[in-house]
Amino acid sequence: GGNEIQVPGSMAEAVGGAASVIRHGELFGAAESSPESSPFKGGPKREPIVREMYTTRAVRIDPTISTSGNVLGGDGSTKSNRLSVGEATSRLGLGKVKSATAKMDVSLSSFVGTAPPSDEEWNAEFARVVEMMASSPSSSNARGSAPVLFRTEFSSVPSAERLAEWLAVKWAPAILRSYDIAGTRVGARPVYATQTGEEGTKIEIVWQELVDFQSVTSGKMIIEVDENGMTAMRGGGDAKQGYGGVSKKPLPGEDILVRRLADAASQAVEKGLAVKPKLAKKEVAAMKPVTTVVAEEVAAAPTPPVAAESSGPGPRGAGARRSSERSRGSRKRTTRKPSSQSDADKKA
């Protein structure tokens, strides 16, 4: 009828289609108005325990669906600081992020770090996401080229070989033993990681699949470490078994490894294997020195002494002065002798 109302199917349709979406993982932390917003658990103690919301403040923003086809957010496998999600939302709403576009669908993950992101770091994160979303997935998969799954930058890497060794020996085996990866029973799954390359700066995570009761390499993830960061790409499998081409679809469990690579980058900075990138801050214009003009002092004519006003009648009021100071604070004590009448009364 005429009173029929059409209810929009989504929030984007309700606001005219120009809405940005920020997805998050498992939320932690409390609002400032909450009694649990105190930095210490249980109050100050001899050995205080700092809440996670104050020790996990570093953030990373990724497109929800990357150009390689992986879903990078909104599934609860990552953790997000409630304060960081609120700050990112307010920055987008107020237009403080210059690199952000009108429509964005991103996911926010939190990692270990006590310092919150600065304005430059927020702009750099959103700029990286815009660059990734602008890249065409068809161009990355053309001619069998390996699509880029993950990329992060460091200020410097003291030893690329040492960082690659830590990824292959410590980080990758712990992820491959997790339930999300080891629980895969059907199809291909990542099995092991090995350090390759002439300089030992490459790591290959190998996917294997059981075909006719034989293990066949069906794909790889190749992680390259250099002096400025590390990059993860999808690689082909065993060409003899028909898996030589690079898969255009995500490998099973690949999205989990991509999300954990962001955590690996944070751990590498914490362990001293890499140096966090330093962004150029805005130069603040130096204040010009203020010059003050001091007027020359002019010698004033001596003023005659003003006589003190009289406080009342008497010699002091008339201007008389005391010749000598009087001793104060001492009084001569005298003993009173009893009278003769009182002595006669005592004798009686």
Please tell me the distance from the alpha carbon of residue 192 to that of residue 204, in angstroms, as a whole number.
8
Give the length of the chain: 348
Could you give the maximum distance between any two Cα atoms of the chain, in Å?
147
Q: Quick one: CA torsion of 248, 251, 257, 259, rounded to 10 degrees?
A: 50
Query: Which single residue is written with the structure tokens 């307010």?
Result: 90
Q: What is the pTM of this model?
A: 0.62
The answer to whether 140 touches 132, Cβ cutoff 8 Å, is no
The pLDDT assigned to 327 comes to 63
Averaged over successive runs of 10 residues, the pLDDT of the chain (348 residues) comes to 74 70 86 78 82 88 69 67 90 78 80 86 85 59 62 90 94 89 84 89 91 88 92 88 83 87 89 83 56 56 56 58 62 60 54
Q: Quote the pLDDT of residue 138.
A: 44
Beta strands in 48-169 (DSSP E): 58-63, 79-81, 105-111, 148-153
CA distances (Å), 212 to each of 184, 189, 209, 313, in order?
A: 18, 16, 10, 129
Rg (CA), the chain: 40
pLDDT of residue 251: 87
Say how far residue 240 (Cα) sits from the centre of its chain.
47
DSSP 192-212: EEEEESSSS-EEEEEEEEEET
Question: What is d(CA 162, CA 248) in angstroms, rounded to the nearest whole number?
Answer: 32
pLDDT at 143: 39
